[in-house]
Amino acid sequence: MLAGMGSGDAVAPSDEASCRSCRRGRGRGGQVDGAVAFAQQVIDSGALYFRANPAVGERLKALSGLRRNYLVHEYFTEDWRPITFSDMSRVLEDAKLDFVGSANLLDRVEAVNLSEAGQKLLSGISHPILRQSVRDYLVNQQFRRDIFAKGSRRLSALERAEAFRQQSFVLLTAPSDIPMKVAGSLGEATLDELIYRPLIESFANEGFAPKTLGQVAAQHPKLVSAPFGNLIQAALVLTGAGHLHPAQVPSRKAQARSPALNRCLCERARGSDAFTFLASPVTGGGIPVNRQQQLFPLAAHNGKRTPSEQATFVWDTLEAQGHRVIKEGKVLETPDENLAELSREAEEFAEERAPILKALGIAL
Amino acid sequence: MKESMTWSAGYPTEIEYTYGYYRELYPTYLRLACLSAGIATAKADPLKYLELGFGQGVSINIHAAGNEGDFGEPTSIQARLRTRGSLPKRQAQARRCSTRRLPNLPRAPTCRTSTSSGCTAFGPGFRRRTAESSSTSFAASLRSAASSM
């Protein structure tokens, strides 16, 4: 069995042509800014290509606002070459790998991604590769996140449902911070509060301890009569939106190892906001955090017990480097303002975030 | 930045790679996505995990810390890193991300051209490395990065 991810860059023909010519023009020998500016010059000269394909110009504008170190490694490698999903599948087919599905779980929520006509069109296509290729056009897909597997065995509907009953999940977001909306390529959809609220509540119970979907379905009075298929769908949507993650029983070794890495990541946060994740042995994956959420635990690790002591620790760290807290897009200037905001954040962290990180097995 | 870009095996080397993390790559998530698609996943014991295009190594280190198994990067990259032993570690780390051409692997365009793709695999072709050593080496290179700034 082999499970793999490949990123096939699904690119509309016009997009591919323009990006490549932009690179060929000055990309390799020049600089990123120079290449982007040069492509813009071509557009501004009234080039008919860009008039016929206005979306390409818009895309360039969006790209030019992105970080240079992202752009250079995404688009300026020597072999940058967009590839269609069908070509990618053919390459992987040679290695006996079959397409499993998108790794983006929200891709499977059709209502937020496809119009009714689009859904109808796709449902009439039985060939999985052609289906995905057509879907790329329907949603104007730019990058794909796909899973291919070797020797995969299809589960019966019963086996799939039974496996979902055994599947553990853990909540990542405080229930009050989870919006009852989810976004896709086409727009937003409202989540059914009758299912999602009790589901979220169940996973928040008992100090956010991980639970299987079967446990949750059997225990919550509002969920016992819900069709299990709806609960599966809800768990996948919440996972796709980043609020819920699949969990595992952490091994002792992983529990011992993760703090070493997390201490290191939190130490690094003293001087930089580059690493915005911590390792959870409960999910086996990374959990998104901001710089403060790395510095408060570090303060606690250094013996600062109360939120107010932790806020002072963080402020001392930031002030020494001339850093300031940004609140609602505004830089806080005075030490008092900074300290007040950090104290508020430290209180909030202790109350809302720390219990979740604890359930995720994140310790220093 | 200099006038011309410096390349190593097809990748720009002057600008540091991003420190992204991609949750689609962690084993429990991959299994859930397969289950969601109705595909059975065998329990691999030990799990053998290979990540191509590992960037700054954020995800592979997080995954090696949080899971049991053998976590690896392509042998060719390991070899390149060893030959650069004389570089300060911070530079070595920066180059790590930039030398992801994989001459020892089949020339699958997917692996050569995409900078942010990851692969998990159960099979031969990469140097075994225990999760423990992976976590420590990351810690070491980060510390050195912090102290050299």
Report the Cα–Cα distance between both ends of chain A, in Å, rounded.
Answer: 35
Tokens of A68: 């240079």
Could you tell me if residue A364 is inside a domain?
Answer: no
With an 8 Å Cβ cutoff, are A91 and B15 in contact? no
DSSP-assigned beta bridge partners for residue A318: none
Interface of A with B in 208-267 (CB under 8 A): 236, 239, 242, 245-248, 250-251, 253-254, 257-258, 260-261, 263-265, 267
Q: Which of A74, A91, A267 lies at the smallest CB-CB distance from B116?
A: A74
Range A231-243 average pLDDT: 95
Nearest to A344 by CA among A322, A314, A364: A314
Determine the residue among A33, A78, A91, A132 to mutate to test chain B binding: the one whose Cβ has the most chain B Cβ atoms within 10 Å. A78
With an 8 Å Cβ cutoff, are B5 and A68 in contact? no
DSSP-assigned beta bridge partners for residue A97: A150
Number of helices (H), then strands (E), belonging to chain A: the values are: 18, 13
With an 8 Å Cβ cutoff, are B62 and A88 in contact? no
A228 and A131: one domain? no
Q: For residue A159, which residues of chain B lie inside 8 Å, CB to CB?
A: 40
Nearest to A285 by CA among A181, A233, A360, A188: A360
Could you tell me if residue A350 is inside a domain?
Answer: yes
Tokens of A122: 């796709």
Residue A57 confidence (pLDDT) above 60: yes
Residues A86-104 have pLDDT tens digits of: 999 999 999 999 999 999 9
Amino acid at A34: G
Give A194-214 as a DSSP string.
HHHHHHHHHHHHHHH--EEHH
- Domain final residue pick, A247, A272, A307: A247
Residue A118 confidence (pLDDT) above 70: yes
A65 and A134: one domain? no
DSSP-assigned beta bridge partners for residue A212: A168
With an 8 Å Cβ cutoff, are A91 and B28 in contact? no
Q: For residue A145, which residues of chain B lie inside 8 Å, CB to CB?
A: 22, 24
Residues B10-61 have pLDDT tens digits of: 555 556 666 778 889 999 999 999 999 999 987 777 888 888 776 777 888 8
A89 and A71: one domain? no
Domain that residue A222 falls in: 157-247
A355 and A265: one domain? yes
**Nearest C-alpha of chain A: how many angstroms from B115?**
6
Element (H, E) at A137: helix A128-139
CA angle, residues A4, B117, B9, in degrees to nearest 5: 120
Could you tell me which residues come within 8 angstroms of residue A71 by beta carbon, excluding any fewer than 6 positions away?
A: A32, A36, A63
Q: Are B20 and B97 in contact (CB under 8 A)?
A: no
Give B52-111 as a DSSP string.
SS-TTSHHHHHHHHHS-SEEE-BHHHHHHHHHTTTS-HHHHHHHHTT----TTS---HHH
Indicate the pTM of the whole model.
0.78
Tokens of A40: 């813009």
What is the C-alpha to C-alpha distance for residues A82 and A99, in angstroms, rounded to an integer? 19
Q: For residue B99, which residues of chain A lie inside 8 Å, CB to CB?
A: none
Range A133-156 average pLDDT: 92
**Nearest C-alpha of chain A: how many angstroms from B86?**
24
Nearest to A170 by CA among B48, B32, B71, B40: B32
Q: A20 in contact with B at a CB cutoff of 8 Å?
A: no
Could you tell me if residue A298 is inside a domain?
Answer: yes
Tokens of A79: 């072999």
A130 and A174: one domain? no
Q: Are A175 and A116 in contact (CB under 8 A)?
A: no
What is the C-alpha to C-alpha distance for residues B25 and A265, in angstroms, rounded to an integer? 19
Q: Are B11 and B48 in contact (CB under 8 A)?
A: no
Length of chain A: 364
What is the C-alpha to C-alpha distance for residues A330 and A261, in angstroms, rounded to an integer? 32
Q: For residue A146, which residues of chain B lie inside 8 Å, CB to CB?
A: none
Range name among A74-88, A299-313, B103-117 with the lowest pLDDT average: B103-117
**Nearest C-alpha of chain B: how many angstroms from A34?**
10
**Predicted confidence band of residue B80 (pLDDT cuts 50, 70, 90):** very low
Range A199-223 average pLDDT: 97
Question: Which residue of chain A is at minimal alpha-carbon distance from B149?
Answer: A271
CA distances from A121 to A1, A115, A135, A143, B119 (A): 33, 10, 9, 22, 32
A353 and A267: one domain? yes
Residue A314 confidence (pLDDT) above 60: yes
Residue A61 CB neighbour total at 10 angstroms: 12
Tell me what ipTM this predicted complex has. Answer: 0.87
Place of tokens 């219990």: A355
SS3 (DSSP) at A151: coil
With an 8 Å Cβ cutoff, are A160 and B35 in contact? yes
Could you tell me which residues come within 8 angstroms of residue B4 by beta carbon, excluding any fewer than 6 positions away?
A: A29, A30
CA distances from A80 to A75, A105, A149, A271, A354 (A): 6, 27, 25, 33, 42
Determine the residue among A131, A257, A272 to mutate to test chain B binding: the one whose Cβ has the most chain B Cβ atoms within 10 Å. A257
What is the C-alpha to C-alpha distance for residues B93 and B142, in angstroms, rounded to an integer? 9
A37 and A132: one domain? no
Residue A250 confidence (pLDDT) above 90: yes
Angle of the A228-240 helix axis to the A193-208 helix axis, nearest 10: 70
> Which has more confidence, A125 or B135?
A125
Tokens of A116: 């009714």
H helix intervals, A209-251 = 213-219, 228-240
Residue A9 confidence (pLDDT) above 50: no
Determine the residue among A2, A9, A73 to mutate to test chain B binding: the one whose Cβ has the most chain B Cβ atoms within 10 Å. A73
**Predicted confidence band of residue B113 (pLDDT cuts 50, 70, 90):** very low
Percent of chain B with pLDDT strictly greater than 90: 13
Range A288-306 average pLDDT: 95
Counting the structural domains of chain A, the total is 4
**Predicted confidence band of residue A33 (pLDDT cuts 50, 70, 90):** confident
DSSP state of A241: T
What is the C-alpha to C-alpha distance for residues A213 and A169, in angstroms, rounded to an integer? 7
Phi, psi of B122 (to 5 degrees): -115, 100
With an 8 Å Cβ cutoff, are B59 and A286 in contact? yes
Residues A166-192 have pLDDT tens digits of: 999 999 999 999 999 998 888 888 999
Determine the residue among B90, B97, B110 to mutate to test chain A binding: the one whose Cβ has the most chain A Cβ atoms within 10 Å. B110
So what's the pLDDT on residue B13? 58
Nearest to A212 by CA among A163, A160, A280, A251: A163
Range A282-290 average pLDDT: 95
